[in-house]
Structure formats: structure tokens, C-alpha cells
Chain A
């Protein structure tokens, strides 16, 4: 596809359930970023990859959060034992990975934990 694709678009989980969010970046994009955006706030950095290497995961809020990109293309963000404070929009973005190349965002996954 032409853009970054995220699925599902919406996810409702009961507290304690595990969820998996998928991101399919633009073809040829080396870098892939995950952000968490709460209502009325800017995107908060979670983690990013260059190809399959996870270069920075300093933004992951707890060890319940895990991200992978095993073949350097599609990425999955997994949240174990979801809590209400995990409710947010999760944005995925990709870029060519060249120094200074801008990010292109997917439509996001809105996660609601009840």
C-alpha cells in the first residue's frame, strides 16, 4: 500500500487482557517508530527500530510493553495485562531512516481498556 497501515483501528480490551497492535510501514522505509498519544497531548515516544534492530526502547512505560520487528518490515506492539492507564491512541510512523527524514504516520489504533 501507499501509506502506513495499522490494525486494528479500534480495540476494546478488558483489564488484564493481552493485546497486539500491528503496523505495516511504507515499503522501503527503514525506520519505524511507535508513539502513545493520550487525549489532548502530543505523541509520546515509545520505541523505534532501524530494520529489525530495536535501537531505543526507553519510552516503553513498563515491562508489560514489548515491541518487535523480526524481519525489518511489519512491527507488532504487544501490551500484556492491560491496565486502564494504557487507554490511548497508539501511533506508528515510518521513515526512510536517512538522517533527518520525516515521519509518515498511520491512522493509529485507539485502545480502550475497560
Chain B
């Protein structure tokens, strides 16, 4: 089982709708969870970090964490064409500070 799993997509969402991106992880000791956005040909940029169970909101973005289910998600409200990108889920190792990435989900916002 991969340490961090994401559906590769593409996920197509109409402009203005809510995009929901999901990620599961295998290490129960993980404490830090991150969502990065990566445009084609660019490097990843941090969108959200979350450390506690529940929801964390930042503008149009909401990160949700459920440690019991080993599940973290990202919701994007009022999706815009500029949100079209690959979204990477990253999790730290419970044993050390190593940060592992999923393969990413390609999101396509339909105008």
C-alpha cells in the first residue's frame, strides 16, 4: 500500500461549483498534513496545512482531516478556471520529519 494515495483524475468540475479532492494515508503516527497546488511546468506551492481533526478554512479553500479514518480532503468553493492544476497531498512521517507526497489529482475547471 502506497503511503499517500490520491485519485489521479482528471476531475472535471464546472466553474462556480465545489471541487472535492481526497487523500488517504497509511501512517497512523502522521501529525502534519499539507495540500500543494502545482501548475504544469511549475513547482508545488503550499495552499493549506492542517494538524488537528476537523475543518480548516482559508478563503475559498477548506481542508478536512479525520485521523481515525486516515483521511484528508480539500474543498474548493466557487471553482475558477485558474484553479485548474494538479493538487498534491503531503503527509509527514510519524517517525521523523520526512514528508511524503501522493501522486496528485489533476483538476480541470470547465468554463
A65 at the interface (CB under 8 A from B): no
Judge whether B97 and A41 touch: CB under 8 Å: no
A18 at the interface (CB under 8 A from B): no
Judge whether A33 and B99 touch: CB under 8 Å: yes
Chain A, interface size category, equals 20 to 34
Question: How far is B80's CA from A59's CA once the two chains are assembled, in angstroms?
Answer: 36
Contact with B along A13-27 (1 / 0, CB 8 A): 000000000000000
Chain B, interface size category, equals 20 to 34
B60 at the interface (CB under 8 A from A): no
Question: How far is B99's CA from A35's CA once the two chains are assembled, in angstroms?
Answer: 10
- Chain B 40-96 interface residues, beta-carbon cutoff 8 Å to A: 42-46, 49, 51, 88, 90, 92, 96
**Known contacts A41-B103, A43-B44; A48/B97 CB under 8 A:** yes
Query: Could you tell me the distance in whole angstroms from the C-beta of B67 to the nearest C-beta in chain A?
Result: 14
Query: Could you tell me the distance in whole angstroms from the C-beta of B49 to the nearest C-beta in chain A?
Result: 5
Contact surface of A with B, Cβ cutoff 8 Å: 31, 33, 35, 41-45, 48, 50, 55-56, 91, 97, 99-100, 102-108
